[in-house]
């Protein structure tokens, strides 16, 4: 039976929510990942060091005792963020600030309305070596939702990189050929996370045969040409610039299956198995370890995890739903069979 052993991976983009819902989902990530970068878009958002450190304590309390797991914390960038706050964050061990353009995604109402007014903040981030994480979409109502990322690149990302050339940037959950090209053509200070859904699916999965709300996420899944471009990026000559970030984003089933369903896909419970299947189908299973366990750690200036994770080519069927606080969440690939299973972490 085929086995695959790699360095324990990191999930460098995950949503844990809070309260009882958080307690339900943290163990899935903690059992697979050595570290996870936790997104700050709670209600209210995590905008201060004190809030981030308290949130970290809550996550640690929800982590199973046998898991050597470290949550990495970032702060929510707002119009009121200052250079002084950047220095305070760096001193406290906060690794990044996250850009949510106002109204772009779940709980982004407190997001940035004009990033160029925050150039002094970005310059301080570059000086401190703290990372800038970008949800790369514009939110102008006249821009087609499938074009938001490409327009963001031209209007915002390229000018910011030109004006703050030493800023260390992670273009989060990229979805387009344009984003992959930008990362590949930029300097070593620019990298990107890529989700399993954007490597597996195209927009037909959302719309053909009826609207399928559990495939709805933001940034929205794009055309097949973009999916192929992302696969080429994570397996190609510049693959060292791309790394694992699931953007696992749980929502209660009733909130997804709703007249106005919310955006997000919950992939944490089978994250590494999903990526193993993706890389195997692309004929690049030998590139999985770098993508999952090495590229991100290097970009963040972290040591590789000391433990190993072993997968076996043995089918597993994904649960139809799992507990999520007082409700349930439908996981990515619910009811489907995946080709790989985790058998050990040591």
pLDDT in tens, the chain (346 residues): 799 999 999 999 999 999 999 999 999 999 999 999 999 999 999 999 999 999 999 999 999 999 999 999 999 999 999 999 999 999 999 999 999 988 667 766 678 999 999 999 999 999 999 999 999 999 999 999 999 999 999 999 999 999 999 999 999 999 999 999 999 999 999 999 999 999 999 999 999 999 999 999 999 999 999 999 999 999 999 999 999 999 999 999 999 999 988 999 999 999 999 999 999 999 999 999 999 999 999 999 999 999 999 999 999 999 999 999 999 999 999 999 999 999 999 9
Domain coverage including residue 18:
11-304
Which phi and psi (to 5°) does residue 226 adopt?
A: -70, -40
Element (H, E) at 251: none
The structure's pTM equals 0.97
Any idea what the Cα angle at residue 95 is, between residues 93 and 100, rounded to 5°?
Answer: 135
Per-position b or e across 222-250, b if 16+ CB within 10 A of its CB: beeebbebbbbbbbeebbebbbbbbbbbb
Task: Name the catalytic one among 237, 247, 286, 346.
Answer: 247
Q: Does residue 341 lie within any of the structural domains? A: no
Q: Does residue 324 lie within any of the structural domains? A: no
Task: Name the residue among 109, 119, 178 with its Cα closest to residue 147.
Answer: 178
DSSP symbol at 275: H
Q: Does residue 292 lie within any of the structural domains? A: yes
Binding residues, as ranges, are: 13, 15-17, 41, 98, 135, 173, 218, 247, 251, 263
CATH number, domain of 264, equals 3.20.20.140
Cα 127 to Cα 121: distance, rounded to the nearest angstrom: 10
Asked if 100 and 218 count as a contact pair (C-beta separation under 8 A), the reply is no
Would you state the pLDDT for residue 21?
97
Task: Name the residue among 10, 16, 11, 23 with its Cα closest to residue 325.
Answer: 23
Would you state the pLDDT for residue 108?
66
How many other CB atoms are there within 10 angstroms of residue 64's CB atom?
10
Both tokens of residue 140?
A: 């102008």
Q: Does residue 326 lie within any of the structural domains? A: no
Binding residues for substrate, as ranges, are: 15-17, 41, 135, 218, 251, 263
Asked if 131 and 300 count as a contact pair (C-beta separation under 8 A), the reply is yes
Asked if 258 and 213 count as a contact pair (C-beta separation under 8 A), the reply is yes
Would you state the pLDDT for residue 340?
98
Binding residues for Zn(2+), as ranges, are: 13, 15, 98, 135, 173, 247
Element (H, E) at 243: strand 242-244
Largest separation between any pair of C-alpha atoms in the chain: 57
Both tokens of residue 137?
A: 């979409």
How many other CB atoms are there within 10 angstroms of residue 283's CB atom?
9
Asked if 163 and 215 count as a contact pair (C-beta separation under 8 A), the reply is no
Both tokens of residue 212?
A: 């399928």
Q: Does residue 340 lie within any of the structural domains? A: no
Cα 234 to Cα 171: distance, rounded to the nearest angstrom: 14
Would you state the pLDDT for residue 128?
98
Asked if 198 and 174 count as a contact pair (C-beta separation under 8 A), the reply is yes
Would you state the pLDDT for residue 1?
79
Q: Does residue 110 lie within any of the structural domains? A: yes
Which phi and psi (to 5°) does residue 3 adopt?
A: -125, 160
Compute CA 287 distance to the chain's CA centroid, rounded to the nearest angstrom.
19
Give the number of domains in the chain. 1
Q: Is 99 exposed, middle or buried (0-12, 13-18, 19+ CB in 10 A)?
A: buried
Beta bridge partners of 112: 101
Q: Does residue 71 lie within any of the structural domains? A: yes
Cα 5 to Cα 310: distance, rounded to the nearest angstrom: 4
Q: Does residue 159 lie within any of the structural domains? A: yes
User: Which residue reads 């409700």 in tokens?
Assistant: 327
Would you state the pLDDT for residue 255?
96
Three-state DSSP state, 131:
strand
Cα 288 to Cα 285: distance, rounded to the nearest angstrom: 5
Active site (annotated) includes residue 18? no
């Amino acid at each position: 039976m085929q086995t695959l052993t790699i360095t324990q991976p990191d999930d460098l983009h995950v949503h844990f929510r809070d309260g009882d819902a958080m307690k339900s989902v943290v163990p899935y990530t903690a059992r697979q990942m050595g570290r996870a970068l936790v997104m700050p878009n709670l209600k209210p958002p995590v905008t201060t060091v004190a809030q981030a450190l308290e949130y970290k304590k809550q996550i640690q309390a929800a982590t199973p005792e046998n898991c050597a797991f470290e949550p990495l914390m970032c702060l929510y960038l707002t119009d009121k963020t200052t250079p002084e706050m950047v220095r305070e964050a760096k001193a406290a061990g906060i690794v990044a600030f996250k850009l949510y353009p106002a109204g772009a995604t779940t709980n982004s109402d407190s997001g940035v309305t004009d990033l160029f007014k925050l150039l002094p903040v970005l310059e301080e981030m570059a000086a401190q070596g703290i990372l800038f994480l970008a949800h790369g979409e514009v939110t102008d109502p006249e821009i087609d939702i499938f074009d938001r990322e490409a327009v963001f690149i031209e209007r915002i990302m390229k000018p910011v990189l030109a004006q703050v050339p030493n800023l260390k940037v992670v273009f989060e959950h990229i979805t387009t050929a344009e984003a992959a090209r930008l990362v590949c053509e930029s300097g070593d200070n620019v990298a990107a996370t890529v989700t399993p859904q954007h490597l597996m699916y195209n927009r037909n999965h959302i719309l053909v045969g009826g609207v399928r709300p559990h495939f709805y996420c933001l940034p929205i899944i794009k055309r097949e040409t973009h999916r192929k471009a992302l696969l080429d990026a994570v397996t190609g000559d510049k693959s060292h610039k791309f790394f694992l970030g699931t953007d696992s984003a749980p929502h209660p089933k009733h909130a997804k299956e709703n007249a106005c369903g919310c955006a997000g896909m919950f992939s944490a419970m089978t994250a590494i198995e999903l990526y193993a299947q993706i890389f195997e189908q692309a004929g690049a299973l030998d590139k999985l370890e770098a993508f999952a366990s090495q590229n991100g750690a290097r970009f963040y200036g972290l040591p590789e995890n000391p433990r190993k994770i072993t997968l076996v080519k043995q089918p597993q069927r994904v649960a139809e739903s799992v507990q999520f606080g007082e409700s349930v969440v439908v996981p990515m690939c619910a009811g489907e069979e995946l080709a790989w299973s985790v058998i050990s972490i040591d």
